[in-house]
Structure 1
Amino acid sequence: MVKNNKNLPQTLVLLDSHAIIHRAYHALPEFLSSKGEPTGALYGLCSMLMKIITDLKPDYIVACYDLPQKTFRHEAYDGYKAKRAKTEDALVLQLKNSRQIFEAFDIPIYDAPGFEADDVLGTIVHQINPVRSREGSQRPSTSNGINIIIASGDMDTMQLVDDKKVQVYTLKKGINDTILYDEEKMIDRFGFKPKLLPDYKGLRGDPSDNIIGIKGIGEKTATNLIVNFGTIEEIYKQIKKDEKVFLKKGISPRVLELIKNNEEEALFSKTLAKIRTDAPIDFKLQEKTFWENADLKKIEIMFLVFEFRSLYSRLKSFFEKKQNPDLEEFSKVLGSLGPRTPARPLENSLNQDSVNQEKLQETAIALWLVNSDITNPSLEDILHYANTSSFEEAE
Structure 2
Amino acid sequence: MANDSQKQQVLVLIDGHALIYRAFHAFQDLTTPDGTPVSAVYGFCRILLTVIKELDPQYILVTFDHAKPTFRHAEYLGYKANREEMPAELPPQIEKIKEVVTAFNIPQFELPGYEADDLIGTIVRQVEMRPVGSQPDVRTIIVTGDRDAFQLVSDRTHVWMPGRSKPVRTIDTEYDAAGVVKKMGVRPDQIVDLKALMGDASDNIPGIVGIGEKTAVKLLQEFGTLENIYKTIQEQNLMIGSSTHPILKGSLLKKLAEGHEDALLSQRLAKIDQESPITLELEQCRLAAYRKEDVLKIFEELGFKSLLHSLPADEFEQAVQGALF
Q: Do these two structures clear the TM 0.5 threshold for a shared fold by scoring above it?
A: yes
Question: Within 5 Å, which residues of 2 pair with 1:23-38?
Answer: 23-38=22-37
Match of 1:90 in 2: 89
SS in 1 for 2:13: strand
Preserved contact between residue 23 and residue 175 of structure 1 (Cα < 8 Å): no
Match of 1:337 in 2: none
Match of 1:324 in 2: 316
Change (3 A) 1:328 1:216: farther
Deviation at 1:77, TM superposition (A): 0.6
- What per-residue deviation string (whole Å, max 9, x for no partner) do you get for residues 78-99 of structure 1? 1000111111011122112210
Q: Percent identity?
A: 35
Match of 1:270 in 2: 267
Match of 1:379 in 2: none
The answer to whether structure 1 residue 196 and structure 2 residue 190 are counterparts is yes
Question: What letter matches 2:113 in structure 1?
Answer: G
The answer to whether structure 1 residue 306 and structure 2 residue 302 are counterparts is yes
Question: Which gives a bigger RCO, structure 1 or 2 (Cα 8 Å, sep 6+)?
Answer: 2
SS in 2 for 1:14: strand
Match of 1:360 in 2: none
Partners of 1:170 and 1:72 in 2: CA distance:
27
The answer to whether structure 1 residue 286 and structure 2 residue 283 are counterparts is yes
Change (3 A) 1:95 1:328: farther
| Gap regions ≥5 residues in structure 1 | 132-138, 331-395
Question: What letter matches 1:64 in structure 2?
Answer: T
Match of 1:135 in 2: none
Question: What letter matches 2:152 in structure 1?
Answer: L
SS in 2 for 1:102: helix
SS in 1 for 2:6: coil
Partners of 2:127 and 2:19 in 1: CA distance:
23
TM-score (normalizing by structure 2): 0.88
Cα RMSD, aligned residues only = 2.8
Deviation at 1:30, TM superposition (A): 1.3
Change (3 A) 1:94 1:250: same
Partners of 1:328 and 1:60 in 2: CA distance:
23
Question: Within 5 Å, which residues of 2 pair with 1:114-129?
Answer: 114-129=113-128
Change (3 A) 1:281 1:155: same
- Paired positions, count: 315
Deviation at 1:5, TM superposition (A): 3.3
Higher-Rg member (1/2) = 1
The answer to whether structure 1 residue 170 and structure 2 residue 161 are counterparts is yes
Question: What letter matches 2:158 in structure 1?
Answer: Q
Deviation at 1:123, TM superposition (A): 0.7
Deviation at 1:304, TM superposition (A): 2.3
Partners of 2:163 and 2:98 in 1: CA distance:
25
Preserved contact between residue 233 and residue 248 of structure 2 (Cα < 8 Å): no
Question: What letter matches 1:160 in structure 2?
Answer: L
Preserved contact between residue 12 and residue 142 of structure 2 (Cα < 8 Å): yes
Question: Within 5 Å, which residues of 2 pair with 1:199-278?
Answer: 199-242=193-236, 248-278=245-275
Deviation at 1:75, TM superposition (A): 0.7
Partners of 1:145 and 1:196 in 2: CA distance:
27
Partners of 2:303 and 2:138 in 1: CA distance:
36
SS in 1 for 2:282: coil
Preserved contact between residue 10 and residue 58 of structure 2 (Cα < 8 Å): yes
Match of 1:339 in 2: none
Deviation at 1:329, TM superposition (A): 6.6
Deviation at 1:58, TM superposition (A): 0.5
Could you list the structure 1 runs, at least 4 aligned residues long, displaced by more than 3 angstroms after superposition.
Answer: 139-144, 246-252, 327-330
Deviation at 1:173, TM superposition (A): 3.1
Question: What letter matches 1:259 in structure 2?
Answer: L
Deviation at 1:195, TM superposition (A): 1.5
SS in 1 for 2:316: coil
SS in 2 for 1:236: helix
Partners of 1:278 and 1:108 in 2: CA distance:
19
Deviation at 1:70, TM superposition (A): 0.7
TM-score (normalizing by structure 1): 0.73
Change (3 A) 1:176 1:152: same
The answer to whether structure 1 residue 160 and structure 2 residue 156 are counterparts is no
